[in-house]
Chains A and B, each alone.
Chain A
């Protein structure tokens, strides 16, 4: 059976490794036969640059990701997506306008990830980064947010938005918090025995504090749904 692929951004690995929850990746991979796919730029950012550049605060995270790559849980996939990346970047950064100027919202690494997903036919994306995720899921919410932040009217270019939508149509974005929940449902926290529900809640707070774009009320909602 062909393994299912989930394309991942660097932010989700940062949240999971910082929260010491990266073992969820091999756990879910073993349970469901999924592969966590990354573009070379994410491997460079998460592994090569910290290790070669002597970035000591990030060594341990880099080693953990490197080990997951070695074991095949995380797979680096290369594809020529330069043209598509450029087109996605140009559309995304010309959707919203403030005072007549286009708002730069995403950069090439994020556009590359979306281009790669399209190229590989991968629809499931693990993304903790808020802006790119909300551009895919709820562009009008991000417009409202920008208007509130800058106190100006944010104009929307419908054509650019619909062209951006065409690139990301059918994508399903998930965050590391959803992986934590699924890991719980499948026994990852069972060794905590009667403390496993508390462990789950603590783990959700930990990924939030580590940078996963998750709200407190969502954690409460998660927990209400847990037996």
Chain B
């Protein structure tokens, strides 16, 4: 099991190398870890790694004119990686908040979408938790993302198609007819 510190430094290294593939892989790793041993900082790191992977994947963010903004994000990630393991949870969360703020500043330079990167990252993380097996309510409680948003996202993915149901449709309909008091 990797520590929050190890994972944070992995995120930093991959971001500095502008390595989207690596960031995605680390995100998967953090997501699994967060589902098994949920902590708020781990969840925030999952969101941040997703956001950074998104940033790295967009050439419009990688031009020279935005380099200072990316450096600021790198500094924030370095700060939180160094503090992980020694700082308390509140302090860690404040550092994640600072990193999110830096992402928002980067996005403001050239806004394109209604939903910002941070909200998108939170939604994706919450929906992944639901897809992994956490209930909808638990995923919503843990992430602060509304059930409506999670369902809207989940409904457009294949998550429900990946789990085999035990009960055939015919049997379900029979039970539903009975529940309503009609003929089976």
Contact = CB atoms under 8 A, between A and B. Distances in A.
B120 interface: no
A60 B162 CA distance: 32
B112 interface: no
10 contacts: A11-B151, A15-B151, A61-B148, A130-B135, A146-B133, A149-B133, A150-B35, A175-B172, A178-B176, A216-B161
A172 B175 CA distance: 7
A105 B134 contact: yes
A105 B168 contact: no
A137 interface: yes
Contacts of B165: 137-138, 141, 215, 218
B176 A174 contact: yes
**SS class of chain B's interface: helix, strand, loop or mixed?**
helix
B84 to A, nearest CB: 21
A84 B147 CA distance: 24
B90 interface: no
Interface string B1-24: 100000000000000000000000
A101 B179 contact: no
B136 interface: yes
Contacts of A138: 165-167
Contact of A101 (B37, B133, B161, B173): B37
Interface residues of A, number: 67
B58 interface: no
Contact of A172 (B35, B169, B179): B179
Contact of A150 (B36, B137, B147): B36
Interface string A133-145: 0100110011001
B89 interface: no
B: interface residue count bin? 35 or more
B141 interface: yes
A4 B179 contact: yes
Contact of B155 (A4, A58, A141, A212): A212
Nearest to A223: B169
Contact of A32 (B138, B155, B182): B182
The 10 lowest CB-CB distance pairs between A and B, nearest first, are A211-B151, A138-B166, A124-B179, A131-B135, A178-B176, A211-B155, A107-B137, A107-B138, A106-B135, A32-B180
Interface string A151-179: 10000000000000000000010110011
Contacts, number: 156
Nearest to B37: A101
A81 interface: no
A106 B168 contact: no
A131 B169 contact: no
Interface string A13-39: 011001000000000100111100000
A141 B179 contact: no
B135 A129 contact: yes
Given A172-B179, A209-B155, A105 B148 contact: no
A61 B35 CA distance: 31
Contact of A214 (B35, B160, B162, B177): B160
A105 B138 CA distance: 7
A216 to B, nearest CB: 6
A182 B135 contact: no
